Amino acid sequence: ITFLGLESSCDDTAAAVVRLRDGRAEILSSVVAGQVALHADFGGVVPELAARAHVEKLDLCVEEALDQAGLTLENMDGIAVTAGPGLIGGVMAGVMCAKGLAAGAGLPLVGVNHLAGHALTPRLTDGLAFPYLMLLVSGGHCQFLIVRGPEEFSRLGGTIDDAPGEAFDKTAKLLGLPQPGGPAVEAEARAGDPRRIAFPRPLLDRPGCDMSFSGLKTALLRARDAAMAEAGGLTRQDRADLCAGFQAAVADVLAEKSRRALKLLGEAYGNDMEAIQTPYVNQNGQEYAPVLAVAGGVAANSVIRAALERVCDEAGARFLAPPLKLCTDNAAMIAWAGIERFRIGGRDGMDLAARPRWPLDQHAAPMLGAGK
Ligand code: ATP
Ligand code: FE
């Protein structure tokens, strides 16, 4: 099965071709056109500008993706497109484009939930079997999911306010560091002492997997102003220590909540270890373990990764992080999620609607007029 996938739900326009043959998935091409420069002057993504850019870039991305794969539309078995959640203008542009291509070439159309794309990525990259635990941690999302099947997701909890990526970006802004904030804060933190400035660990006193990150931003602002008042300005070391303290707090929260999520995964399957173990190959040959997989740009953070790896080691679980290019927004994951849906009979008609909101546990693809 070969699918063309389209993604345009945020600030990246993307198209990709993915093939599943003899049980092995292969990414034949993956084109991503970002909009960093377009939105740079505005301090955030401007929805109208994003939508217009998607309209302009989608055709080119599709052409490029097919070219790089050395294939044409006739070689496709279907078209997958992000139908939500996301910025509605961009999602609509993608859905329109996909409908045009599907109708024109007489191909099946499969609407995909963007979050399902992220959640199913470890199956594309590592052929992971169900079930597994997914921590989706990006600029716009933060949630724990049990991934049970191509359209079966159980949400265990998530952020009740900001996403961690957003908190990293705001931290960078408050400290005069460049955007995107994550890599900048991580680099700065390398020279910092994470213990000098105390940051809270929000919601750790509460049971479950819900998280909160907006308080960290407030704590950062206060600590920054205190440091500035003391010395009349922010020293290089102050900034490094602030970044390190903030980053350690995010890592601690994600680690502790991951520990709980792994426990909940076990409980969801009656603590039947066999039911939650998936096979994987390592230096000792084939082994079995429950898996915590991550997706989203924040998964690039090495301190956060190390913290999650430690949690998995302690819990006898395996930590799996797909290559960064596939952790952030891309269309290969959409093509793949389309293939997964298609294989279990998922199809959409020309009434496929773009949805700004689309919780993963309501997995059925949206119809026009639904979800209002
Ligand atoms: P969505 O939430 O829809 O996936 P997004 O574009 O905001 O959209 P991603 O592209 O997955 O999310 O990730 C971008 C976010 O990841 C940004 O907020 C960025 O600061 C953060 N990020 C990137 N690298 C790092 C890092 N090394 N440490 C922490 N955060 C990082
Ligand atoms: Fe995303």
Is 218 buried (19+), middle (13-18) or exposed (0-12) by CB count in 10 A? exposed
Integer Cα distance of 179 and 45 in angstroms = 12
Nearest to 100 by CA among 59, 50, 142, 69: 59
- Does residue 30 contact residue 16 with C-beta atoms inside 8 Å? yes
CA-closest residue to ligand 1 atom 25: 182
Could you read off the pLDDT of 106-146 as tens digits, one per residue? Answer: 999 999 999 999 999 999 999 999 999 999 999 989 999 99
Q: Which atom of ligand 1 is nearest to the CA of 329?
A: 10
Distance, CA 242 to ligand 1 centroid (Å)?
Answer: 20
Q: Which ligand is nearest to the CA of 141?
A: 1
pLDDT the model gives residue 371: 36
pLDDT band at 308 (very low <50, low <70, confident <90, very high): very high
CA dist., res. 122 & res. 317, Å (int): 15
User: Residue 69: pLDDT above 80?
Assistant: yes
Output the six-digit token pair for 267: 């409980």
pLDDT of residue 366: 47
199-235 pLDDT, tens digit per residue, is 999 999 999 999 999 999 999 999 999 988 988 889 9
Binding-site residues for substrate, please?
A: 136-140, 169, 182, 186, 301
Measured from CB, residues less than 6 Å from any atom of ligand 1 are: 10, 138-141, 165-166, 168-169, 180-183, 186, 296-298, 300-301, 328-329
Dist. CA 329 → ligand 2 center (Å): 5
| Average pLDDT over the chain, rounded to an integer | 92
Q: Which pLDDT score is estimated for 38?
A: 63
Angle (deg, nearest 10), helices 214-231 and 236-268: 160
pLDDT of residue 50: 74
How far is 11 from 47, CA to CA, in rounded Å?
9
Q: Is the dihedral of CA 263, 267, 271, 277 positive or negative?
A: negative
Q: Which ligand is nearest to the CA of 180?
A: 1
Residues whose CB is less than 8 angstroms from the CB of residue 31 and which lie 6 or more positions away in sequence, other chains included: 14, 15, 16, 61, 64, 65, 68, 331
Question: Which residue's C-alpha comes closest to atom 6 of ligand 1?
Answer: 139
Provide the 8-state DSSP code for 210.
-
Of 121, 329, 333, 334, the one to substitute when testing ligand 1's pocket (max ligand atoms within 8 A of C-beta) is 329
Closest CA to 365 of 114, 189, 103, 142: 114
Ligand 2 center to residue 273 CA distance, Å? Answer: 31
Residue 40: pLDDT band by 50, 70, 90 thresholds?
low
Which residue of 142, 169, 186, 298 sits with most ligand 1 atoms within 8 Å of its CB, as the best mutation to test the pocket?
A: 298
User: Which H or E run includes 148?
Assistant: strand 142-149
pLDDT at 367: 46
